[in-house]
Amino acid sequence: QVSDTETITDGHRWPRQNSVCIIFLSLSMREWDIPYDELQIGDEIGAGRFGKVYRGYWHGDVAIKVLNMEYVNDEKTLEQFKMEVSTFRKTRHENLVLFMGACMKPPRLAIVTSLSKGNTLYTLIHLRKDKFNMNKTTIVAQQIAQGMGYLHAKGILHKDLKTKNIFLENGKVVITDFGLFSVTKLCHGNRKGDSLGIPPGWLCYLAPELVRSLHAHQAHNEDLPFGKASDVYAFGTVWYELLCGEWPFKGQPPEAIIWQVGKGMKQPLANLQASRDVKDILMLCWSFHAKDRPDFIRLLNILDKLPKKRLARSPSHPIHLSRSAES
Ligand code: ATP
């Protein structure tokens, strides 16, 4: 029995005043719903916190992220997944992975994006040990800041910016996994008993306000206080990795990192051979108070003003960028 003030959409009862919005959302979501059977699933590329990623085919090569359904077991979680997907479809920027659609019918939840053919910055920096010269570092950082500035202008927080989520394809940066942190959190399998599961290499991207709100008995659905400024903090860490080839607080146990970051201590930069301007970017992004961190527009301005080394050019050889760090 539906009352005069209610509408039923997707099996839910909604107050009539919200129904127009909800019907609209539900119709526009349908446009992005890919029937699972239409996907040709190929080899597994890798596994992350929220499930497995496969190479696949759907009107061309795609990456298919299949969610670990163990944790998506109620209506509320499913709605949250749909909401996250709805933010994804608003993005059109050359430095952001192309969202193509999603399978939204349980038990098969998956996100379909363009397939990145390059390597992640994580692979280039930490596994291949490629060296990025200053020009290359700046160009890569500018593209990350452009993609992130666009996301923030659209009101979307990344929440998980890290070198594992940044691809480099023929010199072009492609950022992935934005806005999916809550889904990741819902699907994570890192938790052991009552303790807080900390994936390796995750802590050094967390701003002090996030680190200070972590606690051992964190509830699955408890939100961390993410904001635009916490994305900027993570960008600072990516800038450090590009410059140094390693993570800040390298080799230190999680408790030591949590304690230092929570107290406002930073990775010392004495051994980093870089100009004042370059180090200032780190200090700004890693500011203890979120309000002191620059936004991506200001960062782009700062990056643009960094002195550019002139590249050796002979009449017979056009400008040549070191390809050592290119994929
Ligand atoms: P975490 O879960 O901690 O974020 P992760 O980033 O490695 O770790 P996923 O994002 O699930 O986890 O990715 C798993 C693997 O799939 C990684 O090797 C990643 O580089 C790869 N991958 C993810 N998205 C794409 C894509 N669009 N194109 C190609 N490979 C991808």
Confidence bin at 63 (pLDDT 50/70/90): very high
Taken in order 73, 76, 77, 78, the sign of the CA dihedral is: positive
Residue found by looking up tokens 């920096």 in the block: 125
Residue 66 Cβ contacting ligand 1 at under 6 Å: no
Positions marked catalytic? 160
pLDDT at 279 over 50: yes
Residue 53 Cβ contacting ligand 1 at under 6 Å: yes
DSSP state of 306: S
pLDDT at 222 over 60: no
Dist CA 47 CA 114 (whole Å): 17
Nearest CA to ligand 1 atom 30: 116
AA identity, residue 20:
V
CA angle, residues 30, 32, 34, in degrees to nearest 5: 95
Confidence bin at 76 (pLDDT 50/70/90): confident
pLDDT at 61 over 90: yes
What's CA 317's distance to the chain center, in Å?
38
Nearest CA to ligand 1 atom 12: 48
pLDDT at 81 over 60: yes
CB contact burial 255-276 (16+ within 10 A = b; e otherwise): eebbebbbeeebbebeeeeeee
- Backbone angles phi and psi of 46, in degrees to 5: 180, 175
- Backbone angles phi and psi of 264, in degrees to 5: 90, 15
Centroid of ligand 1 to alpha carbon of 51 (angstroms): 10
Confidence bin at 215 (pLDDT 50/70/90): confident
Taken in order 292, 295, 297, 303, the sign of the CA dihedral is: positive
Nearest CA to ligand 1 atom 4: 48
The mean per-residue pLDDT over the stretch 23-30 comes to: 60
Give me the pLDDT at residue 103, please: 93
Residue 327 Cβ contacting ligand 1 at under 6 Å: no
The mean per-residue pLDDT over the stretch 180-202 comes to: 56
Residue 63 Cβ contacting ligand 1 at under 6 Å: yes
Confidence bin at 136 (pLDDT 50/70/90): very high
Index of the ligand 1 atom closest to the CA of residue 45: 16
Give me the pLDDT at residue 316, please: 44
DSSP state of 307: P
Choosing from 44, 45, 67 the residue with most ligand 1 atoms within 8 A of its CB, the one to mutate for a pocket test is 45
Q: Is residue 239 a contact partner of residue 162, using CB atoms and an 8 Å limit?
A: no
Give me the pLDDT at residue 78, please: 80
Index of the ligand 1 atom closest to the CA of residue 116: 28
Confidence bin at 4 (pLDDT 50/70/90): low
Give me the pLDDT at residue 51, please: 85
Q: Is residue 45 a contact partner of residue 55, using CB atoms and an 8 Å limit?
A: yes
Centroid of ligand 1 to alpha carbon of 2 (angstroms): 44
pLDDT at 74 over 60: yes
Residue 116 Cβ contacting ligand 1 at under 6 Å: yes
Residue 176 Cβ contacting ligand 1 at under 6 Å: yes
pTM for this predicted structure: 0.84
Give me the pLDDT at residue 193, please: 44
For 200, residues 6+ apart whose C-beta sits below 8 A from its C-beta are: none
Dist CA 115 CA 63 (whole Å): 5
pLDDT tens per residue across span 83-112? 878 888 889 999 999 999 999 888 888 999
The mean per-residue pLDDT over the stretch 290-309 comes to: 95
Q: Mean pLDDT of all residues in the chain?
A: 83
Residue 199 Cβ contacting ligand 1 at under 6 Å: yes
Index of the ligand 1 atom closest to the CA of residue 177: 10
The mean per-residue pLDDT over the stretch 62-86 comes to: 81
Residue 15 is inside which H or E element, if any?
A: strand 12-15
Distances in Å between the Cα of 263 and the Cα atoms of 122, 197, 206, 257, 320 are 27, 21, 13, 10, 44
Which residue has better confidence, 249 or 197? 249
Which residue has better confidence, 85 or 237? 237
% of the chain beyond a pLDDT of 70? 76
Q: What is the 3-state secondary structure (H, E, C) of 150-204?
A: HHHHCCCCCCCCCHHHEEEECCEEEECCCCCHHHHHHHCCCCECCECCCCCCCHH
Nearest CA to ligand 1 atom 15: 46
Residue 46 Cβ contacting ligand 1 at under 6 Å: yes
Structure tokens at 155: 């009101």
Residue found by looking up tokens 């509320």 in the block: 76
Index of the ligand 1 atom closest to the CA of residue 164: 6
Confidence bin at 305 (pLDDT 50/70/90): very high
Choosing from 176, 203, 327 the residue with most ligand 1 atoms within 8 A of its CB, the one to mutate for a pocket test is 176
pLDDT at 22 over 50: yes
pLDDT tens per residue across span 149-189? 999 999 999 999 999 999 999 999 999 988 776 655 544 54
Residue 164 Cβ contacting ligand 1 at under 6 Å: yes
pLDDT at 282 over 90: yes
